[in-house]
Structure 1
Amino acid sequence: MRDQEPAPMDAERRLSTREAAELLGVKPETVYAYVSRGQLSSRRVSGGRGSTFDAGEVEALARRNRRDSSGGSGPSGSGSDSSGGGHSGGELSVRTRLTLIESDRYFFRGVDAVELATRHTYEEVAEWLWTGRMLPGSTFTAPAAFVSVARRAVEALPEHAAPADLLRVATVAAATADPLRFDLSEDAVLGTARTLIPTLVAALPPRGHAHRDEGPMAHRLWTRLSMRDPDEASLRALDAALALLVDHDLAASTLAVRVAASARAHPYAAVSAGLGVIEGPLHGAASGLAHRLLQDVLEQGDAAPVIADELRAGRRVPGLGHRLYRGEDPRARALFALLERIPRAEPALLAARDIVETTARHAPLHANVDLALAVLTVSCGMPPTAGETIFAVARTAGWIAHALEEYGERPLRMRPSGLYAGPRPPQPLPE
């Protein structure tokens, strides 16, 4: 729950030193320390010995101090979506009808997201998020011209390029092939969504000789992630992972998308903004860290020495904890249940359980969706970067849903005010 903010004060009102100290929750001498550091300005009382302070300036400093001090509160975690707008004491909140996270559950347009993801395909869940209508049998088709230009752009990249690099370049290339990309009407944006996602998947280099560019999105994506022939249970797990990851409120990348959409950037540019954010190890790339951790545990046969190395190096154990869930991440729970139906996933599932139980001796953290993704990618012969690819493709649908929502709001509303903390002017010109 967010801290209660004091009511705005009259901008003309001046506070005494005692009043400023009480509002800031500090001693009077600390108020003057703020002045000496340039964080507050003061004015001498006419005919008196004390100083007065601008009420609005003091209130802004108090608000900033509360925000800074609340950064470590709540359950710890380093999951893909551990950053969320409006959930960690910040000032920015955005009204949305898309996703609600509450009581260790999450909902898409009021419907339990786990139930949607386990009963419907990724495409159907995406359509539900975009339109609020369930369209059974939904499929996405990529225009040949879009796929051609996106593939050429991706093929020009170095071999070591990361998944987010490939997808970002493919997105920009697809945009150049769409002369109607600046049409921000709902129908046009939905058309973009239904062609961009399959274009991105088709632009990814196949892992084996055979690849699919038709059928369910999970089947097409599989041939870009694994050289193995998939079984039905593995494809169902991949499809559910995509659907579970479609959206997760205002994660960092989603906020970037909404800022771009607020400036009326077209959908391709908005998606590109999201792709630029997910590369961080605290967001989309977190599953790759969990993948490598899981591989280490499988190689050593015991989680204890691997966890000890992580803690000795001062690192958080990847795949555990989430600041939005006090209990188990519901996405992880749903994906683990599907993975239990895949016989070859048993060793990775046991290793994941060993990681959770071993770490519980140090901190009571539950598995998050990154650890579940790691079990999927390790057991299906996928590279460490596969989880990031799954996350990015899945989240593209959610980003477009948020862009659609933002296009219906007042332009440029995503413009927070900076709380200046530098030296108070006027300062002398530098030498």
Structure 2
Amino acid sequence: MRDQGADGERLTTREAAERLGVKPETVYAYVSRGRLSSRPAHGGRGSTLDAGEVDALARRTGRREPSAAADPTFRTRITLIEDNRYYFRGVDAVELAGRYGFEEVAEWLWTGVPRPGIRFSAPQESLEAARRTVAALPAHSGPMDRLRVAAVAAAATDPLRFDLSPEAVIGSARSLIPTLVGALPAVGQPDRAGDRLARQLWRRLTALPADDASLAVLDTALALLVDHDLAASTLAARVAASARAHPYAVISAGLGVLEGPLHGAASGLAHRMLAEVVQRGGAAPVVADHLRNGQRIPGLGHRIYTAEDPRAQALFALLDKIPRAAPALAAARDVVTTAARHTPLHANVDLALAVLSVSARMPAEAGETVFAVARTAGWIAHALEEYEERPLRMRPSGQYVGPRAPQPLP
């Protein structure tokens, strides 16, 4: 049984072995060599080890042997979701995004230290390599294709990418995120030194000029979407970090899962629906078509929130101040009202992103791009946490259901 002494948490030999990913015999060897210290347990049965020493040794040595069992628990200090609200490091995420821009919120998520006014910048070598690689893709390639290859190209230019110390990982993230944005083809005015990341991204989503109100919506959307607990892409990123993949590979893992139609692509479906509602002058025929075809209505409902998604609430309030967004915003509200006759679902963040993309003449994939760029910061935050955990702890056992062995050689 685990012991909690006056000087901290104590572990049994078996518990220490599980944390280290080794056999109990190896723990005894660590003690005999002085790498761990032990003392008799209460009652004189067995010995216990200091949990802090064990965790420090795990971080230094990595996993040496297969663990007896996977650890399904994710201890996190990043995001809490409860009572239809969500919080970054205990601070209301909507209030945080209302006061600070994306880069400042990302920095807060990584370090817990506010750095007002911080700007991320891309190293020239990394940016040029990413742009050359993206330019070599076929013309029909989408933004997710471009982001994935840009991450690989940026990794190739960073010989220090295998340094997993917090300072190095955060430094890589500060340069990688603007590299990803800068590698996307620009359709607006050229970038200027010192531009916020949101302004750089705007120029890659639409040719319309970025007025302050519209830019505030995009910057807030990025800040709101930084993290949302253990979504599928975040879980993939943590698995990669558990294997001690470098931060560029962690981002690549997250991007690979994000492209799935059940995750990052949802905002594109909402965009197309909303554009059709605006074109047809009302939501009723569009909603009816979706229901007739057995399709769910994009942009409505969320598996966590029983009321309206707080991210959607915040973005709708900002969009309401932009005259150009009025038709798309009215269409979104019409969708919610019309669908409520069939099922009581509330708007989620995908519908709010669709209002932004439709009103700003962005492509249907714009919401997915915003989501991906924002979430890279969250994946880095989770990687920083996972690097502090026992390596390769997420190793479930498969339940074999194939032919009974041995079978004859084919």
TM range (shorter): 0.7 to 0.9
The alignment status of 1:316 with 2:296, answered yes or no, reads: yes
**Residue matched to 1:389:** 369
Q: Which amino acid aligns with 1:429?
A: P
Deviation per CA, 1:106-164, whole angstroms, max 9, x where unpaired?
00011100000111110110001000011111111111111000000000011211211
| TM superposition shift of 1:417 | 2.1
> Among residues 263, 271, 274, which one is paired with 2:254 in the alignment?
274
The alignment status of 1:413 with 2:393, answered yes or no, reads: yes
The answer on whether the counterparts of 2:188 and 2:209 sit within 8 Å (CA) in structure 1 is no
**Residue matched to 1:111:** 91
SS in 2 for 1:179: coil
Distance 1:339 1:160 in 2: 31
| TM superposition shift of 1:93 | 3.9
Correspondence 1:80-229 to 2 at 5 A:
92-212=72-192, 214-229=194-209
The alignment status of 1:233 with 2:213, answered yes or no, reads: yes
Distance 1:93 1:407 in 2: 15
The answer on whether the counterparts of 1:202 and 1:213 sit within 8 Å (CA) in structure 2 is no
**Residue matched to 2:242:** 262
Mean alpha-carbon deviation: is it higher for 211-220 or for 151-160?
A: 211-220
The answer on whether the counterparts of 1:213 and 1:220 sit within 8 Å (CA) in structure 2 is no
Correspondence 1:34-49 to 2 at 5 A:
none
SS in 1 for 2:245: coil
Q: Please identify runs of 4+ aligned residues in structure 1 that moved more than 6 A.
A: none
Distance 1:430 1:359 in 2: 58
| TM superposition shift of 1:211 | 4.0
Over the residues paired in the alignment, what is the CA RMSD in angstroms? 1.4
Distance 1:365 1:281 in 2: 20
Correspondence 1:56-75 to 2 at 5 A:
none
SS in 2 for 1:224: coil
**Residue matched to 2:277:** 297
SS in 1 for 2:198: helix
The answer on whether the counterparts of 1:294 and 1:375 sit within 8 Å (CA) in structure 2 is yes
Correspondence 1:355-394 to 2 at 5 A:
355-394=335-374
Q: How many residues align?
A: 340
**Residue matched to 1:33:** none
Q: Which amino acid aligns with 2:339?
A: T
After superposition, the Cα gap between the structure-2 partners of 1:228 and 1:184, relative to the gap in structure 1 and judged at 3 Å, is same
Mean alpha-carbon deviation: is it higher for 202-211 or for 324-333?
A: 202-211
**Residue matched to 2:58:** none
The answer on whether the counterparts of 1:212 and 1:219 sit within 8 Å (CA) in structure 2 is no
SS in 2 for 1:166: helix
Deviation per CA, 1:156-177, whole angstroms, max 9, x where unpaired?
0112112111001000000000
**Residue matched to 2:65:** none
Distance 2:261 2:298 in 1: 9
| TM superposition shift of 1:430 | 7.2
> Among residues 303, 307, 324, which one is paired with 1:327 in the alignment?
307
**Residue matched to 1:45:** none
Q: Which amino acid aligns with 1:208?
A: G
| TM superposition shift of 1:282 | 1.5
> Among residues 313, 317, 326, which one is paired with 1:337 in the alignment?
317
Deviation per CA, 1:152-205, whole angstroms, max 9, x where unpaired?
000001121121110010000000000000000111001001000111111110
The alignment status of 1:429 with 2:405, answered yes or no, reads: no
Mean alpha-carbon deviation: is it higher for 112-121 or for 412-421?
A: 412-421
The answer on whether the counterparts of 2:271 and 2:364 sit within 8 Å (CA) in structure 1 is yes
| TM superposition shift of 1:362 | 1.1
SS in 2 for 1:193: helix
Distance 1:402 1:308 in 2: 41
Deviation per CA, 1:327-359, whole angstroms, max 9, x where unpaired?
111100011011111111111110000111111
Distance 1:307 1:201 in 2: 35
SS in 1 for 2:204: helix
Distance 1:281 1:212 in 2: 35
SS in 1 for 2:305: coil
| TM superposition shift of 1:421 | 4.0
Distance 1:415 1:320 in 2: 35
SS in 1 for 2:80: strand
Q: Which amino acid aligns with 1:215?
A: D
**Residue matched to 1:398:** 378
SS in 2 for 1:298: helix
Distance 2:94 2:171 in 1: 26
The answer on whether the counterparts of 2:151 and 2:180 sit within 8 Å (CA) in structure 1 is yes
Normalized against structure 2, the TM-score is what?
A: 0.81
